Amino acid sequence: MPRDSWPEFPEAGTHLQRYAGRLMAAEINSSFYRPHQPATYERWAGSVPHHFRFSVKLPKTITHERRLRDCGGLLDGFLAQAAGLGDKLGCLLVQLPPSLVFDAATAPSFFKALRAQHAGPVALEPRHASWFTPDVDAALEKWRIARVLADPVRHAPGAAPGGWPGLVYVRLHGSPRMYYSAYGQATLQALALKLRESADSGAAVWCIFDNTASGAAVSNALELDALLKD
């Protein structure tokens, strides 16, 4: 949390407690790199208000190393760990490597296995062009998997959310310089309008700022929060 944003947050508590005292959700990215004990997730869940929710990113061992293949045991272990969040588990995030092509055998097998164990919201951030087609969108909708709107946009269809319309998940990595650039007022105002429209249509809405390298994520999240409350 950048120092210049500290006055926006409660003074007392851990970093997570202070953050959750002002904002409503967080994305757990560390789960991508290493496993966490269920007790760790339980501690996080116990540190936040009842309305706060976490999104948890699937491990890279599943998405990048096994590339969604033959990962049943890894998936079982991850879901058992994340279950420590209880009702604070708001969403699972599946981010795929740019080189991972949609495969008509692998993808259904993986998502069916995931859905057999997890009925809650799931957001998919694919990055290869083969995932951005009407047929794939239809398959994702059948599995109740939302396709993330990620900025910068890699492929033209990715400029809008896809897949299952019951969830809209936006990830803003920073543009033009990924992870560094802040988003301006006009962009945030347009985003707020689109998020309101999605929520009014009945979708669950998530917006995560990933432009953390320069500290812009927190200020952008606070600006968007203020616009949504106007």
- CATH at residue 214: 3.20.20.410
Interval 189-215 mean pLDDT: 96
Q: Which helix (H) or strand (E) holds 229?
A: helix 216-229
Give pLDDT tens digits for 90-138: 999 999 999 999 999 999 999 999 999 999 999 999 999 999 999 999 9
In the chain, % of residues over pLDDT 90:
94
Q: How many domains does the chain have?
A: 1
pLDDT digits (tens, 9 = 90+) for 2-16: 777 778 889 999 999
**Bridge partners, 142 (sequence order):** none
Domain holding 53, by residue range, is 3-229
- Is the confidence at residue 218, as pLDDT, over 90? yes
At 1 the pLDDT is: 65
Q: CB under 8 Å to 57, separation ≥6 — which residues?
A: 27, 28, 29, 31, 32, 92, 93, 94, 95
164-201 residue pLDDT tens: 999 999 999 999 999 999 999 999 999 999 999 999 99
* Maximum pairwise Cα distance, the chain: 51
Token pair belonging to 34: 């290493």
- Residues 60-75: what's their mean pLDDT? 98
Q: Is 181 helix (H, G, I), strand (E, B) or coil?
A: coil
Distance CA 44, CA 48 (A): 7
pLDDT of residue 159 exceeding 80, the answer is yes
Tell me which long-range contacts 102-108 makes (C-beta under 8 A, separation of at least 24).
Answer: 102/126, 102/128, 102/130, 102/131, 102/133, 102/136, 106/67, 106/68, 106/69, 107/68, 107/136, 107/139, 108/139, 108/143
